[in-house]
Amino acid sequence: MTSTLAEPDSAPAEFVAPDFNLLDEPWIRVITTDNEPRHLSIRDVFREAGSVRRISGELPTQDFAVLRLLTAILWRSYTRDGTLPGAGIDAAEEWWAETFETGELALENIERYLDEQHDRFWLIHPTQPFYQVADLSTSSGEHSAVERLIADAESDYFSSRAGKRLYNLSYAEAARWLLHAQSYDYSGIKPAAVGDARAKNGKGYPIGVGAAGGGGGVIIHGANLIETLILNLPSPRIAETARAAADGRDEDRPAWELSPHTSQARNEEASIPLGALDALTWQSRRLRLFPRDGLIAGVLITNGDKLELKNNRADPFFGLQHSKNLSSKTDTVFLPRRHYSQRTFWRGVESLLYRHGVLSRDLQEKVPAELPDNVEALSRLSRHDSGALQRRVNVELVGIDYGTQDSVITDIVHTEIPVTLTLLTAEGSRWSEVIVQSVRKTLEAASAVGSFAGMLVQAAGGEYAHNADASREVLAALETEFRNWLFELPAAEPGPEPALEWRRTAREVILDHADALIRDAGPQAYQGRIVVPDAERSADARPRLNSAGTARIWLLTQLNKHLPLQAPNPAPNKESAQ
């Protein structure tokens, strides 16, 4: 996919002067609470986190990669002393709730930690460049053009750039894409790095996608970056890390506290990170950026550390789902839950909330899953009588769809779910069943629209086929309405009214789409024709009339099944067949 270039004429790596320290130089793209775009250094993004609304780079996956880095810095700076800022280890839940309510970061801890680690954050360095290997090379002495660093899905971004910048990146851009490559690089054959014992016949054989690519990230966003950082620090895990540090067991460390990596892997086989810090900074690739005249002109990407996905609970941003295929009578296997490009929002709502007492014990055993630690930990908030539970947050789902054998990036998966924070806690379990059942019934009703559209084609003289596009279109329209309904769920005790309100809204949207489909079907569909049902699809194979009117009557029966109204006399203009 990418071209190969000879290495640029420059001094050997050991004579390259350190340049562009990520702690001090602006490279993180953000949107402020005043909707102003800015570039901030790591130090400044923590100092100004209260006025930063979101990280806002080139891709949602890139933003997640940057947030993972910031989370690791915060996590380590808060726990390395064997305690928590201003609190003891045993008071982690209270500390978390108080920190979230006050909305302040322990900047003294952060600044002190960053001062100590300053020399490990040079993007360009003769011996220890950030997230890179200084002397990484191939036997041919060649490397790729810098476009290799940019995700396949972002090719338009790169090719649309003009002039000399087409073949290089600024240090700031390269830093952002460096994190993205470590997190989401595709699998497939890589160049063989000199010194990598795994390489054979001049090739580095596939070890899987980047550190975050094997699962679907779940991020809880608050009103500003301070809230976001705190919301994604699970208090039980934070306390566990601090307790380990107090006991001298802090093997779980971020990548920059380890000895600089070489081309060799840490372990010969796939391995599970030692903890959250290891997971958040996992080096799935060995990389080297090639600078020229103050810009990055090339890159070499080879295999790094292979991540074990089975029963990997180290990463706080990923939920798990049971793998029936990989499990046995003696070995239960969970894998990271991925997001999918089809119905991402609807599947996301269901997977996010269904564990809070919605399913019967029997069904939970049939469909076992585990929430991400950042979401699971919020159930602890129910023990605190706090107005913070009424705050509105956005739950972001982000991931990547990979193509054949994960060797190419085909799509970015991204959606956001607006909820009241209460819904993510144990207190919100009383709403969960209403929400999840509404999702399931809505999906069934949308599927009926696809069948309805197929009936119209048949009524107009064509062959019946379920119209998946019609289902997708109505779901897209319903998604906007569902977001509004979800966001406005009252804080009162659940009753029949909220669910009924949604069913009314959904029926109205669906019937509007149905009427549009009827208009587009043409006059022949109104007249209809006699059809003989497929015996395999229908128990009644007698000939019958199929017309726009009979199809609409069928759709109404499906809506009454999946989205019933309690009102005895529905409005005639919407509920009467044509």
Beta pairing partners, 369: 321
Amino acid identity at 173: E
Place of tokens 């609807």: 346
The answer to whether the CB of 475 falls within 8 A of the CB of 536 is no
DSSP element (H, E) containing 446 = helix 429-459
Contacts of 165 (CB under 8 A, 6+ apart): none
**Quick one: which of 189, 320, 203, 178 has its CA closest to 255?**
178
DSSP label at residue 6: E
Beta pairing partners, 336: 320
Distance, in Å, from the CA atom of 546 to the CA atom of 531, rounded to the nearest integer, reads 7
Distance, in Å, from the CA atom of 341 to the CA atom of 292, rounded to the nearest integer, reads 39
Q: Is 98 exposed, middle or buried (0-12, 13-18, 19+ CB in 10 A)?
A: middle
* pLDDT tens readout for residues 22-47: 999 999 999 999 999 999 999 999 99
Domains plus CATH for the chain? 4-303 (no CATH), 320-429 (no CATH), 431-575 (1.10.132.100)
Cα R_g (the chain), whole angstroms: 27
394 token code pair: 């956005």
Place of tokens 């090379």: 137
Instruction: Phi first, then psi: give them for residue 6, nearest 5 degrees.
Output: -70, 150
Q: Look at residue 565 in the predicted model and tell me its pLDDT.
A: 92
7 token code pair: 């290495």
Q: Is 222 helix (H, G, I), strand (E, B) or coil?
A: coil
What's CA 57's distance to the chain center, in Å? 15
**Quick one: which of 373, 352, 350, 359 has its CA closest to 443?**
350
Amino acid identity at 498: P
pLDDT in tens, the chain (578 residues): 444 444 444 444 446 899 999 999 999 999 999 999 999 999 999 999 999 999 999 999 999 999 999 999 999 999 999 999 987 777 888 889 889 989 999 999 999 999 999 999 999 999 999 999 999 999 999 999 999 999 865 556 555 454 444 589 999 999 999 999 999 999 999 999 999 999 998 899 999 999 999 999 999 999 999 999 999 999 999 999 999 999 999 899 999 999 999 999 999 899 999 999 999 999 999 999 999 999 999 999 999 999 999 999 999 999 998 898 999 888 999 999 999 888 889 988 888 876 545 554 544 555 567 889 999 898 766 655 556 777 889 999 999 999 999 999 999 999 999 988 888 887 777 788 788 889 999 999 999 999 999 999 999 999 999 999 999 999 999 999 999 998 887 565 667 888 999 999 999 999 999 999 999 999 999 998 998 877 555 666 788 899 999 999 999 999 999 999 974 444 444 454 44
230 token code pair: 């705190």
* pLDDT tens readout for residues 251-294: 999 999 999 999 999 998 999 999 999 999 999 999 999 999 99
* pLDDT tens readout for residues 344-402: 899 888 888 765 455 545 445 555 678 899 998 987 666 555 567 778 899 999 999 99
- Angle, to 10 degrees, between the axis of helix 496-521 and the axis of helix 548-562? 160
The answer to whether the CB of 209 falls within 8 A of the CB of 185 is yes
Task: Find the distance separating the first CA and the last CA of the chain, reported in whole Å.
Answer: 55
Q: Is 326 helix (H, G, I), strand (E, B) or coil?
A: coil
